[in-house]
Structure formats: structure tokens, C-alpha cells
């Protein structure tokens, strides 16, 4: 199968084909996900919680992200490899350039940043320097203390309008992919329709251009808790490969996420 690129994802959006994304942190699982047909593999700073046992993503370092990126890239041939930039690794444009370069050197093909308007200059600078960027709006886990916990974002009209405007600004600045986390389904659908780039949801309903899950949640083995927006595919199938295949199928046919995995 052909290598997945940002152009592949754009074409999928234009043709109405939904995109499947999952996190991975090592070569073995990356190879399994790649062979099953996953379009995007994300090395998430979620590793702080699911691998390290932390109660947030904040303690994760650039060096740790680079280590896991190298591992994932060695197991991946087809899928697009995206790496989270961890907390405070892009507080200034200079930090962002240096740390993004380190992650790209480790094997990332795109970096993901959390935040809105304050990132516009950084995103423009990264894209000008040949580094593809994925944005992230809604519940941004690196801002968990600011939000007062893991809470749904964009429920009131003002917050929803602001998120839509920020999404448009991020696209204009140069992002080629956008993740929406814990956002009401209707708002996520509006944002997906307003942007030309693909929008990937997690707890954002079925009306986005694709879905992403943390692999530990999808297999029902997360140490802390199972989010409302996740589904234990391993419990349904009893087999890891079948679980991955079913997840991809349900994303593509629009049966996941259902209302029980979404917010209003």
C-alpha cells in the first residue's frame, strides 16, 4: 500500500473517506497498526499517563517523545507518523523550532501542538521551515490545570464561536491537520465543514473527518480510567488484530463514535 502523506489525508477528506488514527509508543504495536491499515499513528504525550503512570501529560519531556518516536518509526512503513510536542517545549518560537527539529530527526513526519491564537506565529514559522504541523483545540490536556480538570470545551455560544475562529486562524497559519478533543458533536461538525484540512475527533462526535483513540483505551487496559469517548474493542472481539480492524471499519462506516461516546 502507498505511503500515507498529508496529501493522502486531504484527498480522503475531499472524497468523504474517514481517517483512522491511533496512538502507539513502540515498534511492535506500530507495526501491527500499520499492517492493519491505520492512516495515522500518533506518538502521544499520553504516554505520561498510560506508560509512566502520571496523572497528567505535563511531566513528559522532549527526550522521552523522541525515544518513542524512534521506536514507532522503526515499526511503521505506510502510516503517517505524528508526534506530540510536550508541555512547555514550544513556549517560544525558538524553543518550538529546536524541539520540533529534534522530533523530526527522531522520525516524526508531523508535530502536534496544543493551543489557539497564541501559536499562530510559531505555526507559520514551523511550516515555513518545512515542518508539518497538526493543531489541537478543545480539551487540551497540557492545560488541564487551567481548565480545572478534564472538561468538555465549547458548550456555550461564545466559547464555540471562539473555537471556530481559532480553528480558521490555525488553518490560515499553516496547520495541515486538526485534532478536536472533548467538543460537542454539533460544534465539531461545524468546524470540520468550515476547514479545508482534515479534522480528527476524540470525544467530538461522528461528524469529523476521522477519529483518534489512545491504544490503551481501545484495548481496555488503561491504568487510571476509561474515558466516555472510548470503546473497548478488545472486549468486543477477543483478539488484538480483530479489535484494530473493527475500529478502522467502524470509523470508516461512521458507526463509531455513537451517541454514547459523544457530548452534546
* Cβ within 8 Å of residue 159, ≥6 positions away: 153
Look-up of cell digits 512503513: 77
Q: Is 84 annotated as a binding residue?
A: yes
Q: Is 45 annotated as a binding residue?
A: yes
Q: Is 66 helix (H, G, I), strand (E, B) or coil?
A: helix
Retrieve residue 18's grid coordinates.
474517514
Report how far residue 183's alpha carbon sits from residue 15's, in angstroms, rounded to the nearest whole number: 24
Q: How far is CA 156 from the centre of its chain?
A: 24
The response to whether 112 counts as a known ligand-binding position is yes
Does residue 219 contact residue 169 with C-beta atoms inside 8 Å?
A: no
**114 in a labelled binding site:** yes
Q: Is 46 annotated as a binding residue?
A: yes
Catalytic residues: 181
Q: What are phi and psi of 231, to 5 degrees?
A: -140, 135
- Binding residues, by number, are 45-46, 84, 112, 114
- Binding residues for 3-methyl-2-oxobutanoate, by number, are 45-46, 84, 112
- Binding residues for Mg(2+), by number, are 45, 84, 114
Amino acid at each position: 500500500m502507498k505511503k500515507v502523506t498529508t496529501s493522502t489525508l486531504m484527498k480522503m477528506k475531499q472524497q468523504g473517506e474517514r481517517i483512522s488514527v491511533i496512538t502507539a509508543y513502540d515498534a511492535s504495536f506500530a507495526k501491527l497498526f500499520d499492517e492493519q491499515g491505520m492512516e495515522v499513528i500518533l506518538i502521544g504525550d499520553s504516554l505520561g499517563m498510560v506508560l509512566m503512570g502520571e496523572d497528567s501529560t505535563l511531566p513528559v519531556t522532549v527526550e522521552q517523545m523522541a525515544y518513542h518516536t524512534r521506536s514507532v518509526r522503526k515499526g511503521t512503513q505506510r502510516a503517517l507518523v505524528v508526534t506530540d510536542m510536550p508541555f512547555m517545549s514550544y513556549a517560544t518560537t525558538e524553543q518550538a523550532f529546536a524541539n520540533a527539529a529534534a522530533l523530526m530527526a527522531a522520525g516524526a513526519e508531523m508535530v502536534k501542538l496544543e493551543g489557539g491564537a497564541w501559536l499562530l506565529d510559531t505555526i507559520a514559522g514551523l511550516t515555513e521551515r518545512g515542518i508539518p504541523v497538526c493543531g489541537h483545540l478543545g480539551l487540551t490536556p497540557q492545560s488541564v490545570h487551567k481548565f480545572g480538570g478534564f472538561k468538555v470545551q465549547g458548550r456555550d455560544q461564545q466559547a464555540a464561536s471562539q473555537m471556530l475562529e481559532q480553528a480558521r486562524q490555525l488553518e490560515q497559519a499553516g496547520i495541515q491537520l486538526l485534532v478536536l478533543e472533548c467538543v460537542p458533536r454539533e460544534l465539531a461538525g461545524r468546524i470540520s465543514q468550515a476547514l479545508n484540512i482534515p479534522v480528527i475527533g476524540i470525544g467530538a462526535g461522528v461528524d469529523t473527518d476521522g477519529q483518534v483513540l489512545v491504544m490503551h483505551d481501545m484495548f481496555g487496559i488503561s491504568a487510571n480510567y476509561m474515558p466516555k469517548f472510548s470503546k473497548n474493542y478488545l472486549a468486543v472481539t477477543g483478539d488484538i488484530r480483530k479489535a484494530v480492524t473493527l475500529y478502522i471499519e467502524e470509523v470508516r462506516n461512521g458507526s463509531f463514535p455513537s451517541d454514547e461516546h459523544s457530548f452534546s
